[in-house]
A and B are shown apart, each in its own frame.
Chain A
Amino acid sequence: METLLEIKDLWVEIEGRKVLKGVSLKIPVGQTHIIFGRNGSGKTSLLMSIMGFPAYKVLHGKIIFKGEDITQLPPYERAKRGIGIMFQRPPTIRGVKLREILKLCSKENGVKIEELARSFTFEKFLDREINKGFSGGEIKKSELLQLMIQNPDLVLLDEPESGVDLENIHLIGQMIKKLLQKETHRPRTKSGLIITHTGFILQYVTADLGYVIMDGEIYCEGNPLEIFEAIQKYGYEGCKNCLKRCGI
């Protein structure tokens, strides 16, 4: 299967602190992978490094996207090549409306923006200042709407279920499914990398492969539901014990 993203032995530091210590993974075209990890384990750092934010300094290793080494490219070049990210806590930008950003994300005309927003009952937010006073669920909807219009080939989702109430989680799940072509027939062309602390997103979105990240290293990979069940049962402490048993 064709590889969309390949990360090779990635070491990253932020403000002098090593946050990723030799991460490697491969995401084939059309697959969704999920990374489980505690807060502070390096999950968000991994997504931020893939997106290319300058604060995340790559010390060693490579990020290959569509066969191209993008390790040194700025975020907008990565966005143009087809990587999109859903932020967990996006900033408010004073005086800038959601609609404006959607227009910039898209080469399409305004009709599609209206239609798409309406289909997620989010049209009232188009003329609001982006993220200002948005609830947890509204932030997710706004982020997903931007991604849908941006239409990336690789979607990076940072804790998509956090701060979302039960009423909205279903809709958020639907939006992610749509983004990742989960409802369409194979072959899928869109890939995803989801990071999660709780793993509850798996109730709404399926994943092809799961990983556990601890202290900046990926220790385990396998069936996402099996990993999720084990974490639910034993917590991340269980992962540690498991590693001890394996002698890692």
Chain B
Amino acid sequence: METIDIKEFKSAKEAKLPQSLEELSIEERERLKFLGVDESLKRGGEYIQIDAKPFICKKREAKGLEMLPITEALKKYDWISDYFWKLVNPEKDEFTKAVAEDLDDGYFIRVLPGHKLVYPVQTCLYIRTDKVAQKVHNIVIVEEGAELNLITSCSVHPHLSSAFHIGISEFYVKRGGTLTFSMLHVWDKRTYVRPRTGVLIEEGGTYISTYVSLFPVKSIQTAPVCRLVGPNAKASFISIIANHPDSHIDIGGEIRLEAEETATEITSRVVVYGGENIARGKIVAKAPKVKGHLECQGLMLSDEGVMRAIPELDSHFYDVELTHEAAVGKIAREEVEYLMARGLTEEEATSLIVKGFLRVKIEGIPPELQKQIDKTLELAKLGF
């Protein structure tokens, strides 16, 4: 993974915020619509940040939902210091330091105890100006017994020469709460991405994270740390990745099972057209009677790319069930020929097989979100 010199990027604060969506080009609006920024979709709330500043932050008819730009939340609530930089260490690396020193903005979302939001909350972090570094800090709190489906779409203007996104995210799922967090990202082959994420799940809480990145990107490196601190807490991490030529994608994740009867599953599906992909995953059993499974499958479509699957299981107790399976291979010739006999060209057949491979059935996410993920798969060019 190449080093990035953060000094080469301008502060996103220097960018001018558009007055309205109409100021965006049709191409930009189409891209955002594709990512779910769409008036016609039913949403509990919406937060859109362009470069450094919040552009839209509004609740729709969602009781029990609080949404604020993080800079406002920091002013409004003293208690937020109990959540701010508590799961991610600001000293972790140069990127966390950069955000700690010069925060642009980000979202603060809280669902009050017992409130189960019917519609998803949509956030979008968009870089519109050339050569800027967008520095974001997000906090999500799902209070006791509450439920939130959060969709985050991140993207860049289609014609930038370079861009850099650094996102700190700290998520808290309180006792019996559920958070499904789905990231649908459309970067660009000149975009660098460094998310830094910490998640804390209390007793009986559930966290389902889905990361979808099917378009080219310059580089992504991330390794969220998720702590399951109460009995019966559950966490699932799913990543669905197409690794294009010249893209470097290193996605990890460390799940710490710190209480009895906690469970986790890490699933990753990667198609490699080129570039370098590293699929890491680590499950640490810090309590007895825990379960963890890690599955990584890679499909190689070229000799030009590299795929590395690095599963890791750490147990500190004997009464645990930790398993992993990893497989890297090519498309079966007979599947391609079967579809060719039905009239599909080799490219169409390959694309359909790849789509099927990436189509992971995700338990626990709302059907409309599954539809949106499927739509992304439809639109991504997945042939050779």
- How many angstroms from the CA of A146 to the CA of B342 in the assembled complex? 8
Closest to A83 in B: B341
Q: Is A87 an interface residue (CB 8 A)?
A: yes
How many contacts between A and B, using CB within 8 angstroms?
63
A93: chain B residues within 8 A (beta carbon)? 335, 338-339, 352-353, 356
B359–A76 touching, CB < 8 Å: no
Q: Is B310 an interface residue (CB 8 A)?
A: no
Q: Is B323 an interface residue (CB 8 A)?
A: no
- How many angstroms from the CA of A101 to the CA of B342 in the assembled complex? 8
Q: Is B332 an interface residue (CB 8 A)?
A: yes
Nearest CB on A from B35, distance (A) = 23
B352: chain A residues within 8 A (beta carbon)? 93, 96, 100, 104
- How many angstroms from the CA of A105 to the CA of B344 in the assembled complex? 8
Convert A88-123 into 0s and 1s, putting 1 for each residue whose CB lies closer than 8 angstroms to a CB of B: 001101111000110011000000000000000000
Nearest CB on B from A66, distance (A) = 16
- How many angstroms from the CA of A87 to the CA of B343 in the assembled complex? 14
Specify which of B337, B343, B344, B360 lies most central, judged by the most chain A CB atoms within 10 Å of its CB: B343
Q: Is A53 an interface residue (CB 8 A)?
A: yes
With A87-B338, A91-B338, A93-B335 known to touch, is A79 a contact of B356 (CB < 8 Å)? Answer: no
A129: chain B residues within 8 A (beta carbon)? 356
B309-348, CB < 8 A from A:
332, 334-335, 337-346, 348
Closest to B334 in A: A91
Interface residues of A, count at CB 8 A: 24
- How many angstroms from the CA of A19 to the CA of B340 in the assembled complex? 23
B190-209, CB < 8 A from A:
none
With A91-B332, A91-B335, A93-B335 known to touch, is A75 a contact of B341 (CB < 8 Å)? Answer: yes
8 Å CB contact of B340 from A75, A90, A100, A146:
A75
B342–A94 touching, CB < 8 Å: no
Nearest CB on A from B241, distance (A) = 15
B interface residue count range (under 10 / 10 to 19 / 20 to 34 / 35 or more)? 20 to 34
B353: chain A residues within 8 A (beta carbon)? 93, 96
- How many angstroms from the CA of A74 to the CA of B342 in the assembled complex? 12
A105: chain B residues within 8 A (beta carbon)? 342-343
Q: Is A178 an interface residue (CB 8 A)?
A: no
A95–B355 touching, CB < 8 Å: yes
With A53-B337, A91-B332 known to touch, is A104 a contact of B356 (CB < 8 Å)? Answer: no
B339: chain A residues within 8 A (beta carbon)? 93, 101, 104
8 Å CB contact of A74 from B332, B346, B360:
B346
A96: chain B residues within 8 A (beta carbon)? 352-353, 355-356
A150: chain B residues within 8 A (beta carbon)? 342-343
A85–B344 touching, CB < 8 Å: no
A164-202, CB < 8 A from B:
none
Specify which of A79, A84, A93, A105 lies most central, judged by the most chain B CB atoms within 10 Å of its CB: A93
8 Å CB contact of A51 from B334, B341, B346, B359:
B341
Q: Is A80 an interface residue (CB 8 A)?
A: yes
Closest to B340 in A: A75
B341: chain A residues within 8 A (beta carbon)? 51, 53, 75-76, 79, 84-85, 87
B34: chain A residues within 8 A (beta carbon)? none
Nearest CB on B from A90, distance (A) = 6
8 Å CB contact of B342 from A91, A95, A104:
A104
A95: chain B residues within 8 A (beta carbon)? 355-360
Nearest CB on A from B176, distance (A) = 33
- How many angstroms from the CA of A104 to the CA of B343 in the assembled complex? 8
Convert B222-254 into 0s and 1s, putting 1 for each residue whose CB lies closer than 8 angstroms to a CB of A: 000000000000000000000000000000000
Closest to A97 in B: B356
Nearest CB on A from B267, distance (A) = 13
B356: chain A residues within 8 A (beta carbon)? 93-96, 129
- How many angstroms from the CA of A96 to the CA of B343 in the assembled complex? 16
Additional pairs, 10, CB under 8 Å, beyond known A76-B340, A93-B352, A95-B355? A51-B341, A53-B337, A74-B340, A75-B341, A87-B338, A91-B332, A94-B356, A95-B357, A101-B339, A101-B342
24 cross-chain CB contacts under 8 A: A51-B341, A53-B337, A75-B340, A75-B341, A76-B340, A79-B341, A80-B343, A85-B341, A90-B338, A91-B332, A91-B338, A94-B356, A94-B357, A95-B357, A95-B358, A96-B352, A96-B353, A104-B342, A104-B343, A104-B348, A104-B352, A105-B343, A129-B356, A150-B342
List the interface of chain B (C-beta within 8 A of A). 332, 334-335, 337-346, 348, 352-353, 355-360
Closest 8 A/B residue pairs (Cβ):
A95-B356, A96-B356, A79-B343, A95-B359, A75-B340, A76-B340, A91-B334, A91-B335
List the interface of chain A (C-beta within 8 A of B). 51, 53-54, 74-76, 79-80, 84-85, 87, 90-91, 93-96, 100-101, 104-105, 129, 146, 150
